[in-house]
Structure 1
Amino acid sequence: MNKEDLKAKILEAHKEADIASLYILEQQTHELFDEETLHGYYANILDLALEKLTETLEAHRVMDMNEVQDFATLRALYEYAMEHYSAGKPSDAAALFEVLGGLSNDEKFSDAMKIHRSAASENLALDDFLEKLADLQETENTGTFYVSRFTKEAQELLDNNKSTEE
């Protein structure tokens, strides 16, 4: 696919607010576009995801991980939360993880977001979270877009946070 065809497909997906299609085109964008254009591409995905978040909250519904657009929206919002975490903004990341945990009908995703939130709330650096709490090899085996497998230390952190909240 050439650059012009790709741009046309991206424009169409954006008009349709089709986040899933934008993710499907992601690999091709990396091959054909420069860094600045890629930054704009991901900003568009985030804008669409934030619109979908607002619509979902206003409708008082939860997102269904089995629905393609909801899945893609949760992925985009998770990546946004991880960007905050990576940028040294753990309190912002913790707030986003909390919202994400309540946004999905998927219990495993919601439980994983609780651990993410706890780690960020404790100001645990992202590198330490990934090294000490996340089981990245097991996560990779599950094929999820989010860190979904954790060490025993992660459960201990969650239990400690629960006991301090009570």
Structure 2
Amino acid sequence: MSNVEKLKEDVFKAVQEGDLASLYMLEERAYSTFEEDMLQDFYANILDMALERLTDTLEAHRVMDINEVQDFATLRALYEYAMENYSAAKVEDASALFEVLGGLSNDKEFSKALKIHWLAAAKKISLDDFLDNIADVEATQEAGTFYISSFNEKEARKLLENAQSSGE
């Protein structure tokens, strides 16, 4: 069995089992093995599974536990999707996703960070301006989180205070 066939089999098995975390574990191999169209299908599987888990979570009226591997993978996939929307200047879609994600997790730091994302997108601050002026990308990289978790304190506080004063 070739490497491509084995990888396809592993991906198929993870999808069949609804194992989003395993798909993320296969991501590097997929990225270096698959052609562009197969890679797009791979990421579409991740997003579809994450959206299905989101629906199940909302219907069950529960929050996700960022320390549980499948919930972690779901939050990561949905965050990446929100950032993809933000990058494509679909700020309304990104804002809505950030708002939902911020309330979906039991992790206070994640929720706090997503509130800043949400407010920035809701104020139609471009992704470039968000990254340049509000986010602290270097500190986030040092923290090792999958989401932007560190911010320019002055700019983040100003965003939060403006939201409070306008009732958001």
TM range (shorter): over 0.9
Partner AA of 2:23 in structure 1? L
Superposed, 1:1-166 pairs within 5 Å as: 2-151=3-152, 152-165=154-167
Aligned partners of 1:100 and 1:56: how far apart in 2?
Answer: 11
Percent identity, please. 61
* 3-state DSSP of counterpart to 2:166: helix
Which stretches in structure 2 are left out of the alignment for 5+ residues?
none
Q: Distance in 2 between matches of 1:7 and 1:37?
A: 9
Measure the CA separation in 2 of the matches of 1:93 and 1:114: 12
* 131-140 vs 150-159, greater mean Cα deviation: 150-159
Query: TM-score, normalized by length of structure 2?
Result: 0.97
Q: d(CA) in 2 for partners of 1:39 and 1:163?
A: 43
Query: How far off is 1:154 after superposition?
Result: 1.5
Q: Which runs of 5+ in 1 are unaligned?
A: none
State the Cα distance separating 1:159 from its structure 2 match: 1.2
Show CA shifts across 1:144-166 (max 9, x none): 00000000211211111111117
Shift of 1:82: 0.5
> Counterpart amino acid of 1:160?
N
Output the CA distance in 2 between the equivalents of 1:146 and 1:155. Answer: 19
Structure-1-length-normalised TM-score: 0.98
Cα distance in structure 1, aligned partners of 2:148 and 2:96:
17
Q: CA deviation at 1:37?
A: 1.0
Aligned-residue RMSD, C-alpha:
1.0
Whole-Å Cα distance in 1 between the matches of residues 53 and 86 of structure 2? 22
Moved over 2 A (4+): none
Q: CA deviation at 1:87?
A: 0.6
Alpha-carbon offset, residue 123 of structure 1 = 0.4
Amino acid of the structure 1 residue aligned with 2:41: G
